[in-house]
Amino acid sequence: MLKSTDLQKVTTICRNAGIDYLALFGSYARGDYHEDSDVDLLVNFKETQSYFEKARVLLNLQDTLNKEVDLVSYKNIKPNRKPYIMRDAVTIYDER
């Protein structure tokens, strides 16, 4: 799991970036991560974002967490992966 100080910073990023839902999944959510693990985040934006806006959010998250981040759009989850992602998902931010 992420540190509470990181969670507060991520919440601020969500508010400023037009994100209405963010969840942690994968090894960090399960607690079986290691030093080289990336942070898997499931995201839903309030409105359609350009590629550059999404890239800015990704870079902000990576800088904040000091880790590689895999940002997965909720709308674009492949149906065969959705059950596994949702099983592990730990909500970080929810403004829906």
Residues 21-49 have pLDDT tens digits of 999 999 999 999 999 999 999 999 999 88
Which pair of structure tokens corresponds to residue 52? 């550059």
Say how far residue 43 (Cα) sits from the centre of its chain: 5
Superfamily of domain 4-94 in CATH is Beta Polymerase, domain 2 (3.30.460.10)
Is a pLDDT exceeding 80 seen at residue 1?
no
Q: Considering the entire predicted model, what is its pTM? A: 0.92
Q: What share of the chain is helix, strand, coil (3-state, %, to 5)?
A: 45, 25, 30
